[in-house]
Amino acid sequence: YEKSKEMINFLESGVYRIDSNFTFMDPVRVLNSSDYTQFRVSHSVYYNRFFECEDKEKSRVSTSSRKRKRKERKPYTLNERERSADQRHQEAKPLLLKAHEVLLGAKDLLHCISNLKCDGGNDDTSCSNGSRELSSIEDEKKQSFVELGSVWQAPLYDISINYRVDNKTTGSSLGLSRVVPAFNNLVINESCDDVEAEILNKRYVLPGDSCFYMSDLKQIHDLIPADTDNGFNLIVIDPPWENGSARQKSLYPTLPNRYFLSLPIKQLTHTKGALVALWVTNKEKLRTFVEKELFPLWGVSCLAIFYWLKVKADGSLINELDLFHHRPYECLLLGYCHGEGMNTELPATLNPLKENQVIISIPGEYSRKPPVGKLLMDYLPGPKPARCIELFARELFSGWTSWGNEPLHFQELSYFVNK
Ligand code: SAM
């Protein structure tokens, strides 16, 4: 009975609490339940990487892991940094194995996961072009906001937000457009419904009550509120860390670590404090940088680590847990920031951050993180509803501010289906 109650809840919210430490998440359901009223995020487009390309993916994974195994057979002594990384991994491993075991035991959930791609029935009819594969969407010329924002004409590009106003008496509806600069400008969808917007003949979906500021890091100071009461209670950051992946390099530009020291985290923090959630890779050099330099400079002490465990449609891990450079998990480091010049104690009523949380989901496109905001709401200081911001965002959420050089990336109409 408990399971089926949880399943009903999952089908509505996209979140399945397997137990107090382990949560399975269907990002598409999470987004559709809280961010969209007129459109729906398409399951088949979101999950294309692990469903449509499964055979291709399998052969790619098996040949590359064969190659890796061949390499790994050579006797190899870990250097000091690798030993520290391995130690972290060994510490996390029992928890991650337990989470995976518990997932494999939740049969009703597993059955549901295997059908996620085609959930929603006619889901494969994406808004702009009918039924098609993500690969063809990728091939299609997408707007590169990174390029667009870097040319001299960037300040001239507008976004038109198309509102629909329904006349209840006549039953008719009227279209209204608001045209504002697309770059270096806080663009707000003031309506509580999702609306369509257009830049250079490409269409995007803006969730109700969402806003974005599309700019380079150089302009991030424009987001600092004049009054700390208008600061943020939740700051989620997914920086473009440098790593060797050629795929990453072709998808978005990366920045050296020292650039993140200049992020104005304290100035963005609300008077009552903020929970800071930082996505990190498993590189030891990066973890040391965050713990020894970045968090201390931001005034954040790491209080908890949430793990994101990545699985395929059949519930198996996307890579072997022990694969050194390709772990099937990433970490979200969490801590509180008190804001510039403030020493406010966090209220005693604040729920203590839970340790040992594992969020399990099937990954979407490369580097796209699951929408963890909902799981963090219980830990936020300050007034409700909390003010939330994502830095280096590629998508928008209802009630949030998204900042980055391409916050509309996953808002393109082809990621959606009509409700
Ligand atoms: N959290 C995102 C998601 O789930 O899809 C992924 C963020 S990705 C790791 C980092 C983002 O930072 C990319 O969109 C990249 O274009 C952006 N970025 C890189 N350099 C930037 C810069 N100088 N200013 C602003 N954004 C930048």
What are 78-87's pLDDT values in tens digits? 888 889 999 9
Q: Cβ of 350: how many Cβ atoms within 10 Å? A: 17
Pocket flag, ligand 1, residue 330 (CB < 6 Å): no
Q: Which amino acid is at 229?
A: D
pLDDT at 68: 60
How many Å apart are CA 50 and CA 65, to the nearest integer? 17
Model pLDDT for residues 275-289, shown as the tens digit of each residue = 999 999 999 999 999
How many Å apart are CA 129 and CA 295, to the nearest integer? 45
Across 27-36, 131-140, 182-191, 374-383, least confident range: 131-140
From the alpha carbon of 145, which atom of ligand 1 is closest? 16
From the alpha carbon of 406, which atom of ligand 1 is closest? 14
Model pLDDT for residues 318-368, shown as the tens digit of each residue = 999 998 888 999 999 999 998 766 666 677 778 888 888 999 999 999 899
More confident residue, 162 or 52: 162
Pocket flag, ligand 1, residue 217 (CB < 6 Å): yes
| Model pTM score | 0.91
pLDDT at 217: 97
Answer whether residue 316 shows pLDDT above 50. yes
How many Å apart are CA 50 and CA 345, to the nearest integer? 45
Q: Residue 174 to residues 163, 180, 196, 207: CA-CA distances in angstroms? A: 8, 20, 14, 19
Q: Which amino acid is at 148?
A: L
pLDDT at 301: 85
pLDDT at 339: 72
Pocket flag, ligand 1, residue 397 (CB < 6 Å): no
